[in-house]
Amino acid sequence: MRILLVEDDAMLGEGLQAALQLEGYAVDWLQDGEAAWAALATDTFDLLILDLGLPRLPGLEVLARLRARDTDLPVLILTARDTPRERVQGLDAGADDYLIKSFDIDELGAHLRALTRRRGGRRNPLIRHGAIELDPATHEVRLEGRPLALPRREFSLLNLLLENAGQVVTKPRLQEALYGWEEDVESNTLEVHIHHLRRKLGKQAIRTVRGVGYMIPGESE
Ligand code: CA
C-alpha cells in the first residue's frame, strides 16, 4: 500500500513516515499543499494522510480539488485538538476520517486498515482467499490453517494482490506500493518477491499477466 503523507511539522512527518514504513506501507512524505496537489495529479496512491494547516495550499483546498476530480482515494485528515470546526469542514469536503493530533501510531494504523477495508467493500478485518488467510492488523498469514512467516515486502505484496483479487495489478503500481519514491530499487526486485511468494504459496497462487503485471485469480477462476 502506498500512502501520501502531507504534514509540514518535520518531526511529526518524519516520525510518521518511519513508523508507517515499519508497518509495511510505502510512504511518500511532502510538506506543503502545492507539492501534494502536484503529486496527486501525477502519481497513484492508496491512501492520503492530510494535515489541514499547510503552507502554500491549505489542506482543505487540496481535499476540495481532489474530490472535484472525482477520485475515491481514501483521505484521513489530521487536525489539532482545538479545531472542531476544521474537522467538520474536512469531513464535509470529502474526508473519510480524521485523527486529532497526539494520536498514537497503533491508533493511526487501525484507522488506515479500516479505511482500506471500506475502500475494498470489506467488513471482515481478515482477508480470506482460498487456502490463504491474511490479517492486516497482526501481519499474520496462514496457509491451510498453518502459520506462514513472510518478510515485510512479501507480506505487503501479498496483501495488495489479495485486496485486488480477480484483477491484474500492474507492475508499476506494485513497485510504487512497495517502494514509493525510494531510489535504488533494483528493477528485478519485484520478480524476486513474486518468486518467493510462489514458492511458499504454490505456483498457481499468483498468475503472471505478460507485459502487464500480476494477479491472484478470483475464487471462481
Ligand atoms: Ca500543519
pLDDT in tens, 97-133: 999 998 999 999 999 999 999 988 888 999 999 999 9
pLDDT in tens, 54-112: 999 999 999 999 999 988 899 999 998 888 999 999 999 999 999 999 899 999 999 99
Give the cell for residue 27.
Answer: 510512504
Q: Residue 8: pLDDT above 80? A: yes
Separation CA 141–CA 128 (nearest Å)? 10
Dist. CA 99 → ligand 1 center (Å): 13
Q: What is the pLDDT of residue 21?
A: 92
Strand 26-30 versus strand 2-6 pairing type: parallel
Q: Residue 220: pLDDT above 70? A: no
| Residues 16-45, mean pLDDT to the nearest whole number | 94
Dist. CA 40 → ligand 1 center (Å): 19
Dist. CA 102 → ligand 1 center (Å): 13
Whether the CB-CB separation of 47 and 1 falls below 8 Å is answered with yes
For the chain, give the percent of residues with pLDDT over 70: 98
pLDDT in tens, 176-213: 888 888 767 777 889 999 999 999 999 999 999 999 99
Q: What is the pLDDT of residue 185?
A: 74
Burial of 149 from C-beta contacts in 10 A (0-12 / 13-18 / 19+) = exposed
| Residue 78 one-letter amino acid | L
Q: What is the pLDDT of residue 183?
A: 67
Can you tell me whether residue 170 is helix, strand or coil? strand
Dist. CA 175 → ligand 1 center (Å): 30
Residues with CB under 5 A from ligand 1 (ion): 8, 51, 53
Range scoring the smallest mean pLDDT among 15-19, 164-168, 188-192, 216-220? 216-220
| Residues 148-171, mean pLDDT to the nearest whole number | 94
Q: What is the pLDDT of residue 82?
A: 84
Q: What is the pLDDT of residue 180?
A: 84
